[in-house]
Amino acid sequence: MAITDRIRAEAVRTIKGIQSYYEKYGEDHEDAEEMEHRISRIEATMEGCNGLSQEDKVQKTAENLFELTCSQERLFDSMRKEIKLLRDENNKEFDILRAEVREGLEDVIKKIEDSGSGRSAARPAKSPSGSDESMKFKLVYKLISEHPVVTLNAFIFVLILVFVSGHFEALTKLCGMQ
């Protein structure tokens, strides 16, 4: 049995789509090589649709399955490579962000310490409520230093809530920015 017009048209349409993709997005020699492999798999599969003997069809099917398996493995490796590159890039950005947050927290802590830890002049430094404040400060500092990602996310969440609620001006007044 000859290759039908429908099968031939589908193969031509698929091959044109593959070529168009690589013209638009192909970047290197490996892409050109992969395009050739993909086109040859389409053509080999199409050959298996003609009037071959049963033995030849089984051989052609086995060859096509082998080609598809090889293609799948190359694709899997390519995807893992891209995922690793993205993960490495995100880890670098996360490390930079973590360092910036840590630096900012150290600045805030230094400013608080320089200002007398927020104690008013009327209250003695060794009062019971002063030690409660110190314990609370240490607890908050420990939480922030041990969980910077959670702290950053909570801070961003609170800022979003402030913007959504329309109380941004009140927040700037509270922080002494106005």
CB distance 40 to 71 below 8 Å: no
pLDDT at 104 over 70: yes
pLDDT of residue 130: 55
pLDDT of residue 1: 61
- Listed as own residue / partner, the contacts of 94-97 with beta carbons closer than 8 Å and 24 or more positions apart are 97/152
How confident is the model over 110-114, as a mean pLDDT?
A: 77
Rg of the Cα trace of the chain? Answer: 33
pLDDT at 113 over 50: yes
pTM, full prediction: 0.42
pLDDT of residue 13: 92
For the chain, give the mean pLDDT.
80
Tabulate helix, strand, coil % of the chain (nearest 5).
80, 0, 20
DSSP category for residue 177? -
State the alpha helices, DSSP H only, in 4-147. 5-25, 29-47, 54-114, 128-146
The pLDDT confidence band at residue 12, using thresholds 50, 70 and 90, is very high
pLDDT at 111 over 90: no
Distance CA 100, CA 107 (A): 11
pLDDT tens sequence across 116-171: 654 444 444 444 555 677 777 887 888 788 888 888 888 888 888 877 777 777 77
CB distance 38 to 21 below 8 Å: no
pLDDT of residue 169: 77
pLDDT at 2 over 80: no
pLDDT of residue 125: 47
Q: Percent of the chain at pLDDT above 90?
A: 4
Distance CA 160, CA 167 (A): 11
Distance CA 37, CA 10 (A): 17
The pLDDT confidence band at residue 16, using thresholds 50, 70 and 90, is very high
CA atoms 72, 74, 77, 83: torsion sign: negative
Distance CA 89, CA 83 (A): 10
Q: Percent of the chain at pLDDT above 70?
A: 88
pLDDT of residue 30: 75
pLDDT of residue 116: 62
- Domain extents in the chain: 5-82, 130-178
